[in-house]
Every structure is written in structure tokens, then in C-alpha cells.
Chain A
Amino acid sequence: MTTPRKRSWAEPYRIKMVEPIRRTTQPERERAIREAGWNTFLLRADDVYIDLLTDSGTSAMSDRQWAGMMVGDEAYAGSRSFYKLEAAVQSYYGYRHVIPTHQGRGAEHILAKIAIEAGDVVPGNMYFTTTRFHQEAAGARFVDVIVDEAHDPTDLSPFKGDIDIGKLERVIDAFGPARIPYVNYQATVNMAGGQPVSMANARAVNALCRRYGIKLMLDATRAIENAWFIQQHEAGYADRSIAAILHELCHFTDGCTMSGKKDLLVNIGGFLALNDDTLAARAREVVVAYEGMPTYGGLAGRDMEAMAIGVVEAVDEDHMAARIGQVHYLGDALRRAGVPIVEPVGGHAVYLDARRFLPHVQQDRFPAQALAAALYLDSGVRAMERGIVSAGRDPATGEHVRPALELVRLTIPRRVYTQAHMDVVAESVIEVFEHRDEIMGLELTYEPPSLRFFQARFAPLPPVRETVAAAETSTGE
């Protein structure tokens, strides 16, 4: 018997345009992180070597998208680029009404404005920072109904983004369907590590919502990546195309908010899509005041053109295999070296588990924030904290919200970096892991009132390891 020879995959494109990046010296990085208050958001991009802060708006467009940029129709009203975008969304996502917005949070803002009344409750599969903010600003309370497995970074279930049907039913019972304007359904779930939902779950959530007459709104930002996971791991979907799976997933929902800056391979843009005529009419009235005329929604015509082309490119099977293949390539390298990461690896990022990475740093000392800063200091790789800093404070008590997951996200922009870049990232993470005892944690020196992770500033705690580290380890944190 012969073992099948290993067959590599390669990117389904070649490089047409490049952008230089700069290596920095250790003293330069020490100065830069100090000036940035140990917050990677506040670093200047020019001081970053490999930028894994986010996959949002940082992707490389194709030559066809750039050609579309030139074709874009900048007419204020009735732009042909709008009609192209509308047709692409209707065809691939299947919703009837398409309202462009300048980015995803513009769509979230409008949905919250038209659907939520004070005192409402919005259940969802784990919070996302800007989404929860808009729900709360409109007077609603967010209730997490994700499956318990999502909170365990070592659980290997394939669909850790699923909604727990029992939890959702209990929320509906407790508050009554009239107080629930919609259920917010993320695919994939960002704060859980980019974990997908299954089609079986979408079907079940849809059935429950139908029974109570509650709308189901998809956060479709990475729904195409989610479709890839369904194709790979859900029984009966191996032979279905990503496009067909996306369409089926969407048809279980009543509309979606969308940041085109992720799946759709553009640098700016989003949309709100709805099936309900009345809700869509209200959304069009509101969009004029906040975003722009309903046929441009605050986007240049060329950006609608690029997004319309991006829809078609994003559902391409080879593209998605290479996209997620690269994320898993990095995940595999870290796992082999024993670095604690969230498993299984999701679609857009590898998440370092800062609790297990830095067991000696208690959560109040912001271990994930400290780890992101340490990684930058080692190599100029920029990552993002997704832990206690991102979770913010409880509006009622003013205390830190303490999420079960204390993570550092290494987010991979689409079509931008090569495997060699991934090797550099892995080597740096492993280096930091080997010297993890030297990372002491941080204290807050400036805290903005909302979405604090964007602009908060920190200072490193002095190295009093022998006492503090021992005490904290013994608490079993």
C-alpha cells in the first residue's frame, strides 16, 4: 500500500500590484508601543511589519475590481453601479430590498433605529462590539443565547457558533415575543473565534422564530466563510456549491446587515438587506438622513461596483479554499508548537488563548492586551485584543464584564499575505510563548466611555513576578 503523496494547494491568483512594507528595529518598536499606550489600535500603520489587526477592509482587490473602480458611476441618484450591486445581492443572498451603507455599522445603526423600541430584548449568538452598541443605544438589551461549547476554547465541536435552541426558547418565554424585535444571528461568530453555525441550526432557529412571529436577522459579514464550513463539515452538503449553501442559509432569515469589508473583498462598503416591504421603506427614509440617498448610501459609485464584483469572487470555491487554507496553515503551525489557540480554527483568524498562554496574569491585568503588545514588540506583527478590554463594562454596575474567552486575534486579510509572512508570524508567536513568563500585564491609564478597546491607553505593570505571579497562579484563574 502506498501512502498518497502530499499535494499542496496554491492561491488561485497571481500578484499584479505590490505595496512595500517596512521592518522596524527593537528600539523603534519600543518607542512606538509606548507612544500608542500599549494599545495596538493606536500604532501607526507605517510602524507595523505584518498587520493582522483586522481582516476588515484590508484585503487586496482583484484587477477586475480595480477595473470596476474605473467604471463606477458617480451619479448622485440612480447610479448604474447601484443597480449592479442590487442585482448581485438579490441573486447571491436572495433578499428583495438592498440598501447600501458606508459600512457594516451603518447598516446596524439603521436596523436598530427602525426595528427596536425601548425595553426590547435582542437575543443573539454572542455579542459583537458595534452590533451590541447600536442595539443598546436604541434602548434594547442584548441576551447571549450561543451554545455553551462556544465559551470553551478547547472544545472541538465543528459548529460552535450555533444558537442554543433551549436558551432562545427560555428567553422568548421570559420576555414574550412582543418584546423581541428580532433575533441577531451571526455567521460566523467573531468573538467566539470565527466559529460557524450549521444549516441544521439555521433551520431550527428559523422554525422557532416563525412559531412566535419573530424576525431573524443575519449578520452576513462572513456568511460565505460560514458556507465553506458547512460544505466541509455538515452531512449532506459536501457536493453543494458555496453559492448554493449561502443562498439556503440566507433564505432561513428575513434580512441581513453586511459589512462588505470582509467576505466581499472591498476596502469600504456594506448594506442592509430586507424582505419586508414596510421595514424596507422605513429604512430608506432613515438612510437618507444618516448615510446618503438610497441609491448610493454614502458610498462612491465605484465602491458599489467593486462590491458587486466581490460578491461573485467571494463564492468561488478555489478562493475560499485558499482563504481558509491560509488561516489553517497558521493555526496548524502554532498548534504543532504547543501554543494554546482556540480550536477548531475558524474562518478569518487564529485566536491565541491568553488565559492558557499567560496563566500567571489575572484577567484584571488585561492578559490579552499585554500579549498583543508583546507580540508587536517581538516582531512588529500587529494583533487585536478580544477579551476583557473589548467586553467593556456593565452599564448597570460599572464593573468590568469578564468574558470567558480572553483572546488575541491574529486576523488574516484576504489575498494580501503569503505563506512566508505566515511563517514569520508563527515564529514570532512561538518566540513570545517561550518567554511568556516575562509578560506581567497592564494597568488602564485612560478609558473612553464606550467601545473602550479602540482608544484606551495602558501602562505596563512592574515586574514583581515572584510574589504576584505565584499568588495569581494559585487562584486557579
Chain B
Amino acid sequence: MKTIIEPFRIKCVEPIRMTTRPEREAILAAAGRNLFDVAADDVLIDLLTDSGTGAMSAEQWAGMMRGDESYAGGRSFVRFQAAVRDLTGLPHVLPTHQGRAAERILFSLVGGPGKLVPNNTHFDTTRANVEFTGAAARDFPINEGRLPALIHPFKGNMDVEALVAAIEAQGPANVPLVMLTITNNSAGGQPVSLANIRAVKAALAPYGIPLFLDACRFAENAWLIKQREPGQADRPVRDIAREMFSYADGCTMSAKKDGLAHIGGFLALRDDALAERARQLLILTEGFPTYGGLAGRDLEAIAQGLVEVLDEDYLRYRMRSVAYLGEALTHAGVPIMQPPGGHAIYVDAAAMLPHIPPAQYPGQALVCALYLEAGIRSVEVGSVMFGRPRPDGTEEPAAMELVRLAIPRRVYTQSHVDYLAEALVAVHARRETLTGLRMTNAPPFLRHFTARFEPLSPAAVSAGV
């Protein structure tokens, strides 16, 4: 049997709504051409994020009913703690309401002015939490990671030489930790190899700098190691995941991705003293250490999710369905980040729309066109998200102009994916008619959530799509 099917059947469905083209034009204009501001009911297929949007299993829903809502010492926490320890080998497990809270606690303890936090590529909330403390957040991806069309198995890898040079320049005492984001979300969901994790760990050893994982998509990364790294093909994916964590001194996790949950995250640590300080902070802003701002039922759902996500049939189906979309687009000539990563397809908007310069946000233009075409919601990962104001008022563009089609876990079928591919191919066929955008307000932090846009020419909405 060559066809890979879903290793589950559907137990509960949720209706979605078709909209008309005139409806979508009005909705998009009212939202200031920022898809974050569109009501979810006005979206047909929602690829905004794979975070917290997955479908839970019957076992997870059963766990939701079993959840112990005791304020202190609940049995759901005991189960959750055991699941995280078993996976990561890290002794201290602090639940948080989601991943960014774990980042905030970690970086408010180790960050601060004069500090440098290196990462293969920071995700947006991670960068915000590092910079909020006054520390510098710098990215050290390998060069291959910046070339969308290049095929390389581990484009999420860190450039170890550049990392070491930066540590030397900054002084090791000012580098509180080094973080690897697995998979590398902002660089196309690209995996990091075991060899690279080991190399980073070895490079840090002489300095005594701890290695942390941003582990949101650890299972997808482990699966891609199994598929792509020499000598790993026959290992159970759970073993690979455990080896990845064995090099880490701590991790932050948003369980809304590979925890297969709708809410929740955790901070796991090896260091006793750091863990004690983190618990104090946890109580103040999240909740008591045995619930961390989560309902007991959510701790149950995560504990079960961490088991299910390492099921090889699930991972094979998950990665295959993302690759299937990537193949359909590649076949039609749509430029995408190659090879497809774990959780999303990233369309290369700079290559697709060379007539729109970065300052006019080609990615955002494509996001709007795709919504108008078919009611599909995607997200820009380019100069809107990562552009930086220069002193002269112009903008330093992002390294890449990407549009992310994030695939929620276990939610959409192959028919949804076919519909989506057709819509994108149709937009691609008339790509020359798309025009750029102007940002009409730019909030200081995380502007992509709340920024608003105007088309650059009044005729752009009707002519541009």
C-alpha cells in the first residue's frame, strides 16, 4: 500500500462557512488588510497558525473530563509532570498558560541589558521577550537557511562558527544561554540535525553556557531527523526526541503545537536554583506551581498529547500531508521554501512577486489576495513581522519575504488541501496584477498582530487580484 491515510477516523466535526467575493472584499477592508483582525467565522480554511488549532483525540477529551481542578497538588499535574520528565529528562517542570509565558519567565531571570541571546532564528514572541529585558536577540542560521530555493536537509541548523565568534566578541559571561528553535519556525519550519545539536553543545561546553531548546515542534524535528539524517532511519522517533533533549539544560515549550493541545506550555529546567527562582515568578504571574495558570483538564490533555505526537503513524501522516501540498504547488511552479518543513508550507513571496519591493510588503499582498480568492487565511512572515525601522525613518527589510500556510494538526482533509492548492495556483497565474501595501500604523512591539494597511493605489483592490 503506497497511499498514506490518516491513522484515525473523525469523531466530531465543526461546520465552516462559505463567503462570497463581495463579502470578503468588505471584510478585508474593514480589517485594515490585516488577517489577524478578521473574525474567524469569516474564514473558510484557517491556516493562520498551527498553534492551538489542532483537533484533540478521544483520549484527550476523556482526559479533559478526568482533569483534577484542585488548586494545589492535583493529580493531573502529577501526570503532566511525569510525561514531561519522561520525555525531556529535565527534573523541574513548570506549567504555564502558554509558551510565551515560559519564555517571559526564563528571559526575565537570565536577560537584561548587555546580555546576548543567540538562537538559530528567534520566533517573534521569543525575540520580543528577550528584547523586553534589554538583552540583544541575534540569529545564527547556517547560510543555506537563508536561500529558499536551495535543497538542504537541515536548513534549521545553527552556524556554530559564527556563534562561537559572537560569544567571544560579547564575552561568555554576557551570554546567559544559547537557544535552538526546533523546528526553525521563522526560517520555514526547517529541522535541526542531531549532529548540529551535538556540535552546538560541544562548542558551549568550554564556556559553561547552557543550551536551551525552544521545543514547540520537537516531534516534527525528530521525525525529520529520522527521515533525513544518516544512521537514524531505524531508530524509534521517541528515542531520537529523547536524545535531542538529553543535550539540553532546559526548554521552553508551547504545548499548542506538538503537545496537540489548545492551550498550555511549560518551562523545564535542570538547574535547581534557577528553577526555584522561576517558580517564584510563575506564582506571581501564572499561577501556583501545580497548575501554572492552566485548568487541570488542560494538563491532562497535554500529558496525553505528548504521547500521541510521537506515534510514528501520526507523524508519517502529518508530514506527508504537508509535503503533499508542497508537491502540488511546486508542480504548478509556485515558488516555495524547499524542502517543505514540518508544520507549514512557506511561499516565497519575493520570488513570486518580484515587482513588489520589500518596503511594499509583497507577503502581505499575497496573504490578502489568497483570502479574497478563496477565504483562506495565511500569515506574512517577512518585513511586516521582522522589518526594523532605521534611524532615517526607512525600514530594514527582513531577510526573506515569506507567506506561511500553517497546517493545523488532524483538522483538514486532503480535499481541503486540494482546494487550497487550486486557489494559490490561480493567484500565482495572475501574480503580475498584485500590488503592494502601505502600513498606516506601526505599534512598537509585535506590530504584525495589530498593524493596518492600505493598498498603494486606489485601484489596487479591484485591479490587483
Say whether B293 contacts A75, CB under 8 Å. no
B53 in contact (CB, < 8 A)? yes
Say whether A75 contacts B46, CB under 8 Å. yes
Contact size range, A: 35 or more
Residue among B52, B104, B284 facing the most chain A CB atoms (10 A cut-off): B284
* Interface set, chain A 437-477, CB cutoff 8 A to B: 448-451, 454-455
Our pick among A47, A77, A302 for the contact of B40 (Cβ within 8 Å) is: A77
Our pick among A51, A293, A301, A455 for the contact of B262 (Cβ within 8 Å) is: A301
Our pick among A78, A79, A133, A291 for the contact of B97 (Cβ within 8 Å) is: A291
Distance between Cα atoms of A179 and B146 in the complex (Å): 51
Kindly list chain A residues whose C-beta atoms are within 8 Å of the C-beta of B68: 45-46
* Interface set, chain B 414-444, CB cutoff 8 A to A: 443-444
Kindly list chain B residues whose C-beta atoms are within 8 Å of the C-beta of A267: 67, 69, 295-297
Say whether A299 contacts B70, CB under 8 Å. no
Say whether B12 contacts A74, CB under 8 Å. no
Say whether B70 contacts A268, CB under 8 Å. no
Say whether B43 contacts A75, CB under 8 Å. yes
Q: Whose C-beta in chain A lies nearest to the C-beta of B97?
A: A102
Among B156-164, B236-244, B445-453, the one that faces the other chain is B445-453
Kindly list chain B residues whose C-beta atoms are within 8 Å of the C-beta of A40: 72
* Interface set, chain B 32-82, CB cutoff 8 A to A: 35-43, 46, 48-49, 51-53, 64-65, 67-75, 78
Among A54-62, A168-176, A399-407, the one that faces the other chain is A54-62
Distance between Cα atoms of A104 and B40 in the complex (Å): 26
Distance between Cα atoms of A44 and B73 in the complex (Å): 4
Shortest CB distance A64–B (Å) = 16
Say whether A300 contacts B43, CB under 8 Å. no
Kindly list chain B residues whose C-beta atoms are within 8 Å of the C-beta of A455: 279, 283, 289
B263 in contact (CB, < 8 A)? yes
Distance between Cα atoms of A301 and B41 in the complex (Å): 13
Kindly list chain A residues whose C-beta atoms are within 8 Å of the C-beta of B39: 78, 80, 83
Distance between Cα atoms of A344 and B189 in the complex (Å): 60
Using known A-B contacts A77-B35, A300-B298, A455-B279, determine if residue A105 contacts B53 with beta carbons closer than 8 Å: no
Say whether A300 contacts B73, CB under 8 Å. no
A130 in contact (CB, < 8 A)? yes
Say whether B294 contacts A268, CB under 8 Å. yes
Say whether A103 contacts B287, CB under 8 Å. yes
Say whether A45 contacts B74, CB under 8 Å. yes
Distance between Cα atoms of A43 and B70 in the complex (Å): 11
Shortest CB distance A148–B (Å) = 31
* Interface set, chain B 289-313, CB cutoff 8 A to A: 289, 291, 293-298
A420 in contact (CB, < 8 A)? no
A312 in contact (CB, < 8 A)? no
A156 in contact (CB, < 8 A)? no
Kindly list chain A residues whose C-beta atoms are within 8 Å of the C-beta of B294: 102, 268
Q: Whose C-beta in chain B lies nearest to the C-beta of A449?
A: B280
Using known A-B contacts A76-B52, A102-B286, A293-B449, determine if residue A48 contacts B70 with beta carbons closer than 8 Å: yes
Say whether A41 contacts B262, CB under 8 Å. no
Q: Whose C-beta in chain B lies nearest to the C-beta of A73?
A: B40
Say whether B285 contacts A106, CB under 8 Å. yes
Q: Whose C-beta in chain B lies nearest to the C-beta of A109?
A: B285
B344 in contact (CB, < 8 A)? no
Shortest CB distance B68–A (Å) = 6
Distance between Cα atoms of A76 and B296 in the complex (Å): 22
Say whether A80 contacts B41, CB under 8 Å. yes
Distance between Cα atoms of A74 and B410 in the complex (Å): 14
Kindly list chain B residues whose C-beta atoms are within 8 Å of the C-beta of A45: 68, 70, 72-75
Shortest CB distance A287–B (Å) = 10
Kindly list chain A residues whose C-beta atoms are within 8 Å of the C-beta of B72: 40-43, 45, 53
Our pick among B46, B101, B280, B446 for the contact of A298 (Cβ within 8 Å) is: B101
Our pick among A46, A57, A79, A83 for the contact of B75 (Cβ within 8 Å) is: A46
Say whether B284 contacts A451, CB under 8 Å. yes
Say whether A54 contacts B71, CB under 8 Å. yes
B288 in contact (CB, < 8 A)? yes
Shortest CB distance B92–A (Å) = 14
Our pick among A53, A137, A303 for the contact of B70 (Cβ within 8 Å) is: A53
A284 in contact (CB, < 8 A)? yes
Say whether A288 contacts B449, CB under 8 Å. yes
Question: Can you list 26 A-B pairs with a CB-CB distance of less than 8 A?
Answer: A41-B288, A46-B75, A48-B73, A53-B71, A56-B71, A75-B53, A76-B51, A77-B40, A78-B37, A78-B41, A78-B43, A80-B41, A102-B97, A102-B294, A105-B287, A109-B284, A137-B284, A267-B69, A268-B293, A268-B294, A284-B450, A285-B443, A290-B285, A451-B283, A451-B284, A454-B288
Extra A-B contacts (5), CB below 8 Å, given A43-B73, A109-B284: A41-B72, A78-B37, A103-B293, A105-B285, A300-B52
Residues of A within 8 A of B (CB): 17, 40-48, 51, 53-54, 56-58, 69-70, 73-80, 83, 102-103, 105-106, 109, 130, 133-134, 137, 267-268, 284-285, 288-293, 298-303, 448-451, 454-455
Shortest beta-carbon contacts, A-B, top 3: A75-B40, A45-B70, A102-B97
